[in-house]
Structure 1
Amino acid sequence: MNNTNAVEIAIITGVVTILVAVLTFVLNHYSSKRKKSLELKIQYIERQMELLYGPLFSLLAQLCSLRDVKDKIDKKYINKKDELNRIDAFFNRNYFTPIHERIKEIISSNLYLINENKIPNSFLAYLRHVSQDKAQRELYERERIETSHIKGEMFPYSFKENIENNMKVLKQELSELRESLGKKII
């Protein structure tokens, strides 16, 4: 082997070494950026579930359970208007109103976490429902002004469905992101 061959081999070895080092750097950089991106997405979804959808899901489940209990109690007093009014006032004062206030607070402080591009109609319908109900109840309780002639905004069951669907979607997405994060990135 002459000196020219030795020099050529050394140059080729050096170039290959540099290319491998650059390629390794680029792949590590890409892998690191992708991992960070997945971690940020996971954190955001966890925040959505922890601060918005999880609490709303839980509170709505409580409302449904309490509504079922109240309906069973109401059946016993179906022909006794005074008792029905007292039962209604009791459940509203002690359960429904505080839960609805908490739901409104969660929505207003966490709107930025809604899993859609705009505020869903079901959220707006829910807010209309609780606002109208509260205004009419307070007007009667404080001023004894009857407003039963005004048809109330019904509870939008699409709100509950929206929360349940978003919980399901977010749990699935979180599971897939965690699985991706656990796999080798490159």
Structure 2
Amino acid sequence: MGSGVTATIISAAIATVFAAVGWVVNHILTGYRDRQNQQSTAALKHIERQLEELYGPLAFLAWEGRRTFEDLKEILERGPSESIFPLRTEQERDTWLFWLEKDLFPRHTKVQELLMSKTHLIEGSKMPDSYIQFLDYHNALKIDHLCWKERRIEYPQKPRVPFPYEFEGDILAAFESLKKTCSILEETIPKVTGRNVFPGCINLVAVPQSIPQADDVYPTETRRYRLIPLCPLCLCGESLSFSGLLNPRS
């Protein structure tokens, strides 16, 4: 065996070893990337549920409540930083009771139901203090109102438990934070544009070379593919081609 042939064999062996090492490293990195993508996808789905089922509705209820309360203050002729209590006249008291029954209670009941039914979607490891304070405020005000309405117990001039204004801020802050995180995850998770033809070779790309055809019964496609061997083990550097039947419904 000549020295030229020996050198060729050694070169080919070295190239094969380097290609094998490259494939192993690439396979490990690809597996890590896939696991990262799976975790990001799961996180994205959870955040989307939080926004759709809890924080989205809560945020819009908070914005709605702010607007209607400002309308109430205008009707009662209160300044921006002025409390509506104490109520000055019988007419103001009637206006307050009407707003309470027709606007505040229905909206706060929706908030209460969301917090009770979607507790698992609340952001963080524990229930925020402002959420608990809101529930205390709502329940105390509702009981006082029922006592006045059904038993004619003197109505208090203002709620016994003050409204926690931090509650709205916490809701909107969580909503905006989740929206931002959702946007970031949507940009970082790669979009799936196709799948490998041969699962054993993670870097093999199939490019269709012919126009799809369809029969009259089942819409199958006949394509000729040109395989671009990007895998380091595909050392020949030549592309292959084959024909196959693909059913778009599968």
TM above 0.5: yes
Match of 1:62 among 44, 57, 64: 64
**CA distance 1:158–1:79, change in 2 (3 Å):** closer
Match of 2:74 among 72, 79, 93: 72
**CA distance 1:89–1:149, change in 2 (3 Å):** closer
Query: Which structure 1 residue ranges, 4+ long, deviate > 6 Å from structure 2?
Result: none
Aligned match of 2:112? 104
**Sequence identity (%):** 25
Cα distance in structure 1, aligned partners of 2:50 and 2:40: 15
CA RMSD of aligned residues (A): 2.4
SS where residue 14 of structure 1 aligns?
helix
Q: TM-score, normalised by structure 2?
A: 0.65
Cα distance in structure 1, aligned partners of 2:182 and 2:126: 21
Task: Quote how far apart the aligned CAs of 1:147 are.
Answer: 5.1
Is the Cα contact below 8 Å between 2:140 and 2:159 reproduced in 1?
Answer: no
Cα distance in structure 2, aligned partners of 1:116 and 1:16: 48
Structure (1 or 2) with the greater helix fraction? 1
**CA distance 1:95–1:147, change in 2 (3 Å):** closer
**Could you report, residue by residue, the CA deviation over 1:140-180 in whole angstroms, capped at 9, with x for unpaired residues?**
11121225289611110000111121122222222322232
Cα distance in structure 1, aligned partners of 2:54 and 2:121: 7
By relative contact order (CA 8 Å, sep 6+), the higher-ranking structure is 1
Q: Unpaired segments of 5 or more residues in structure 2?
A: 79-86, 192-250
**CA distance 1:117–1:43, change in 2 (3 Å):** same
Aligned match of 1:22? 24
Match of 1:128 among 121, 125, 136: 136
Task: Quote how far apart the aligned CAs of 1:4 are.
Answer: 4.6
**Could you report, residue by residue, the CA deviation over 1:74-108 in whole angstroms, capped at 9, with x for unpaired residues?**
239x7531x22322222122111110000001111
Q: TM-score, normalised by structure 1?
A: 0.85
Q: Which has the larger radius of gyration?
A: 2
After superposing the two structures, state which structure 1 stretch, 31-40 or 9-18, moved more.
9-18
Match of 1:145 among 146, 153, 163: 153
Aligned match of 2:103? 95
SS where residue 189 of structure 2 aligns?
helix
Is the Cα contact below 8 Å between 2:133 and 2:164 reproduced in 1?
Answer: yes
SS where residue 34 of structure 1 aligns?
helix
Aligned match of 2:49? 47
Aligned match of 1:173? 181
Cα distance in structure 2, aligned partners of 1:72 and 1:150: 18
Structure (1 or 2) with the greater strand fraction? 2
Q: Unpaired segments of 5 or more residues in structure 1?
A: none
